[in-house]
Structure 1
Amino acid sequence: MSVAPKASTPAWPTPPEGGWTADDLDRLPNLPPHTELIDGSLVFVSPQTLFHERAVDFFKWQLQSLAPAEFEVIREFTIDIDRQNRPEPDVIVVSGDVVEDSEQTRFPAEAVLLAIEVVSADSVSRDRETKPLKYARAKIPHYWRVENEKGRAAVHAFELEPTTRAYASVGIFRERMKLDAPFPIDLDLTQIKTRRDKDQ
C-alpha cells in the first residue's frame, strides 16, 4: 500500500487577500535583493547585465557630482508611492532632508526629483508603461528611461506636465545629454561601455 506524498510547503510567500502592502516589504523574511511591490504584487529582479550595472554606476556618480548640495543621488532604493506600490528605481535624485538614518529602507515619492530606470529584458513593459504612469501620478517631476541600443545608451527623458499630470518627452539622447532641468546637466553618454577599449 503506497502512502500519498505530503504536500510541499510553498517556497514563496502567499499573498494575503488584497495583496501585499508597502509595509510588508520590510517584514517579509528572505526576500531576494531588490524586490519591488507593484500593484500589491512582489516583483523579483532577474540577474542584471553588464550594460545595466555600468549604466546605473554612470548615472549615480555623474549626477552626484552635478546635483545641488540639497539633493542626494541614491541607487536601487525603494520609494513609497501608495499602500500597494513601492517600486525601486535604479537611480533617484532625492531631497537630502528625507535621508534620515542608515537604517531607513525607503523614501517618500514626494521627495524624489528624478527617477531613472535602466531597461532590462524582464522590465521592458514596467519601465516603458507601468512605472512612468505611477511616477507621474506621484508627481515625480522628472523620469529618464535608459535603453540599451547595441551596447550604447539611449536616454529617453521626460518632464511632468503639471496640468495633465502626465510625462512629456524632452528628448532622446544618445551620445551627449545636455539639459537645464532638473538642474544643469551635460553628460557624455559614450562613457557607458560594455567592454574595454582595445587600446586600454
Structure 2
Amino acid sequence: MSTDVKLREMLCTLAASMYDRGLTCGASGNISARTEDGGLLVSPTGSCFGRLDPARLSRFDAEGRHVDGDAPTKEMPLHAAFYETRGSKAGAVVHLHSSHAVALSMLPEVDPLDALPPLTPYSIMRLGRVRLLPYIQPGDPAMGDAVRDLDGQHCAVILANHGPVVSAPSLEAAVYGMEELEETAKLTLMTQGRNPRMLTSEQIASLRATFGDP
C-alpha cells in the first residue's frame, strides 16, 4: 500500500472517529495533511467527517495547485497559513466546531492571549498558549491573515464564535491536540466559578523546560 493511500485512509478514519464521538456534526469541520511529496490532502467542501471517501479527498501538489479530487474546503486560507508559518511543525491541521471550545470563545472573561487556563499538564504539553482570534466570517481570507500575524508562534487557536484549529507535525498529533483542546475547554466550563486549583507558574515552566513548546 502506497504512503498516499495510507494517509488517505488514516485521515478518513480519524475524521470518522471525531464525528462518532460528537466532536463535530453535520458537514462542519475540515482536516488536512501534508503528503510525502510536499502536497496536501484536504477534506472536500460540504463534506461530513463521518462519511469521507479516501478517493475523493482534495489533492494539492507542492505548489499549492488543486490537482485531483473534489473541491476543497472553503477554509483553505486558514490551513495554508498554518503550513506557511509553522514549517516542519505543521504536518496536519484540524478545524472543528466543537461545542465546548465554541462556548468558551463567547465568554467575555476569556484572555485572548491565553484562552485555556492551565488546568492539566497535557494542555500545556500538546497546545502551549492558545490564542483566541476575533470573529471572522467563514471562508474569508482574513482568517489566514490573522494566523499569519501570529508568526508561527502558536500551534492552536480558537476562532471566536466559530471553533478551534490545531496544527501538529503529524495527523495523529493534530487530532490528539484537538481532543485535548476540547476536553480542556469542557473542564474550564465545568469548573467555572468554582475557583479550581490550577497549575502554578513553576509547574508550567517545568513542563515547558522538559517537553518544549508544541
Question: TM-score, normalised on structure 1?
Answer: 0.30
Q: Which has the higher contact order (CA 8 A, sep 6+)?
A: 2
Larger Rg: 1
Greater per-residue helix proportion? 2
Greater per-residue strand proportion? 1
Question: TM-score, normalised on structure 2?
Answer: 0.28
